[in-house]
Amino acid sequence: MLRSQRSTIAPTLLLLLAAHCGGPSGSAVKTPAGGDAKKDDSIADLAASQGGLASLGGGRNGEVGTGTEAAMSGPLRAEQVIKGSPVKLDGLLKEWHARSAATESIRGKTDGLAFKVAVQYDDAKIYVGAEVDDKDLVRTKKLAETEDHATFTIAFPAGRGALKAYEIGLFPGKPGEIAGAVRWLSGPSKGKEVAGARIVEAPVKGGISFEAVLPWSSFAEARTMRVGLRGALRWHDGDGTAERGVLGTGKGSVDAPNDLPPLPTDSEQAVVEGLLSPNGLANEKPTVDLYVNLTGDERKERVSVFGKYFTICGPTYRGGTQFFYRELGGELVSLEARDLTGNGREDLVVRRRFKTPSSVREWLEVWSLLQGDEPVTTFGHEIAVLSPDGKRKVTNAARIGVKEIEISVDRADGWNAASYGEPITSDVEPILFPWGTVKSRTFRFADGKFAKASEETQAGAPAPAAAHTGGGSTPTPRDVPTPKVKPGGDLSARVLESYRRDRSVPASEKARFDLQVQLDGDARPERVVLLDRDLVVFGPGYKGGATYTYLTLSQFAKAADVRDVSARDINGDGTAEVVVRGVRRIAPPTGGPEVEVEALFVYQAKDGRLTRAFGIETAREQGGKRVQGLVQFVPAAGGRGFDLLASPGVAKGWNAKSYPWPQEKSGGALEPLLLPWGGVKSVRYTWNGTTFEPK
């Protein structure tokens, strides 16, 4: 389904080159052989060859997965040995979990055979237990492959879209007569015994049972990989001269590892039991499987997407018995991993697509595990807006490197400054327009997020004036561009020093946000600084250039709760307003988990004062349950500035019956979050001269 949808919507060109590749950002892309890229070359392949991200552009843009994705359930499961209860290797399976019956007749005659198996593991070893019903067991000192024996085929993820498989022969002996053996049946060591492996058998009614143990170190990939395994166990019935039949738990082989069934471990079984089974997805393959280092230890995590669910699990992630999931809230376009924050762990580069009644929006995000074990969004930018039929579009290009991301104008087809009327997103950085004043922006990673570091401007292209009908004034342009925003630098440094003295703020305390933009007065810009929770405004033309104004954002409990400070002209007066996003934390009066209320606030710096012009709740979360609303900047009907359009979004963990609060009404100190079941389709807020009010 994803591929057919992509065929009708032209993909965004994402040129993703690692910063360490060398050359200026405008350098021509080179092929691995050193020549210039041809028109038909895949940008994805070229980027990947130079350290970029494989599937974010070019010919392979239509593929989300690799074709080797595997479900998290199968005919076998590997269970972790309980600490303090080691496996007693005596050939008997009394302490083992329930065995799985082999039901697949691989070849030959298997009538009269029964083979039941189980797999366990600990940090150092993997164990195989089996019970065999075979009344005519053939075993000699030769332990030949034409005699009765079992095989264990196991495969590990080994790079994007690749599997590395091994086949082990498990040859039970005869107690007191013939010693059993564990041998390689594939690879350069074929025929040799597996170092450190053992097998112990015991007679049972109608056949034998056995236990075998192999060191994980037998398999090179097992050092880092304990998820995404494939595996099959088989009983080979032989008469000493030829093989009569093979009964197993699944198909596949060393030469066809992708046909092997999944062999899930405990962390994957937790995903199945806690998420996939309740949602009817237990036997489904994910659209994406990534094996990545998110937590920084030796073992890799498995990142998978099942329908609308994004999941993380792993042998050491959350103790190896729990997992993380969230709803994507849109269509996944692609998912890649690389270290972008420079901490030695991989971050996730996510492209999501959202459909609205009038357009399709595409976001590029970076999700990172920083302090905790849940991914947080460290970067978000809209990179495409398309009409539903894909014939009109605006796209941006992205260049991604370690600790630096550059977004630049790409192209517009079917839309121009006059005809484009889609809402401007507020949840992530909005798309850059060919007719806008910003040609590109560079974001650098600092203090836990990618923040604006610099931008390149362009002249822009105002919309054509409407036809004059006579007698009136010249028509107003479609919109007045937001005043240029750039880092604060040293603008009015002495005034900032005065603020620090007055408020006892040490010079060593760094501003979390520091902008330079025109807010009030003459054409000279003001400086907007956030220190702790104080929003401070000053500048050469503000209040005579001699003093400052500040406002403590007391709605936030601590400085870290202020997530973002930006500026743009929202009311259309030609100067910018300050936009603050953050989270308010509320302790329920009846007890229970803390309630997190995410909100957006708009402030004006006029006449020497900072005042709040608008505030709206955008999301609410408690105990892992969440409702996410949608708030967008929409071009105002009067031709200048923007209205704010609030709409219901998505809910995770709550529904109309379980959500503990009613749909609140407009008109309070903070405009309400619109609930998916609240009965309000949307609310549009327009500027009335002093504030934004519901239209």
**Whether pTM exceeds 0.75:** no
Give the mean pLDDT of 674-693: 91
What are phi and psi for residue 654, nearest 5 degrees?
-120, 155
Question: Among 17-31, 242-256, 373-387, 417-431, which stretch is predicted with the lowest mean pLDDT?
Answer: 17-31
Give the mean pLDDT of 391-419: 93
Helices and strands in the chain: count of H runs, count of E runs: 4, 38
Block residue for tokens 């006892």 = 504
Higher pLDDT, 14 or 640: 640
Q: How far apart are CA 328 and CA 339, in angstroms?
A: 22
pLDDT of res. 254: 96
* % of the chain at pLDDT higher than 90: 64
Query: 16, 49, 55, 51: which is closest to 288 by C-alpha?
Result: 55
Question: Among 53-62, 181-190, 414-423, which stretch is predicted with the lowest mean pLDDT?
Answer: 53-62
Give the mean pLDDT of 525-537: 95
pLDDT digits (tens, 9 = 90+) for 426-458: 778 999 999 988 999 999 999 899 999 999 998
CATH 3.40.50.10470 corresponds to the domain 78-263: no
Q: How far apart are CA 119 and CA 121, in angstroms?
A: 7
Token pair listed for 486: 């750039």
Strand 207-215 and strand 577-586: pairing? unpaired
Q: Does the pLDDT value for residue 212 go beyond 90?
A: yes
pLDDT of res. 251: 96
Question: Among 34-38, 78-82, 206-210, which stretch is predicted with the lowest mean pLDDT?
Answer: 34-38
Say if CB 394 and CB 367 are below 8 A apart: no
Q: Does the pLDDT value for residue 8 go beyond 70?
A: no
pLDDT digits (tens, 9 = 90+) for 10-53: 333 343 333 333 333 333 333 223 333 333 333 333 333 333 33
pLDDT digits (tens, 9 = 90+) for 267-307: 999 999 999 999 999 999 999 999 999 999 999 999 999 99
Q: How far apart are CA 129 and CA 91, in angstroms?
A: 8
What are phi and psi for residue 635, nearest 5 degrees?
-50, 130
Q: How far apart are CA 218 and CA 192, in angstroms?
A: 12
Give the mean pLDDT of 556-564: 93
What burial letters (b/e) apply to 139-163, b meaning 16+ CB within 10 Å?
A: beeebeebbbbbbbbbbbbbebeeb
Query: 301, 145, 295: which is closest to 235 by C-alpha?
Result: 145
pLDDT of res. 30: 30
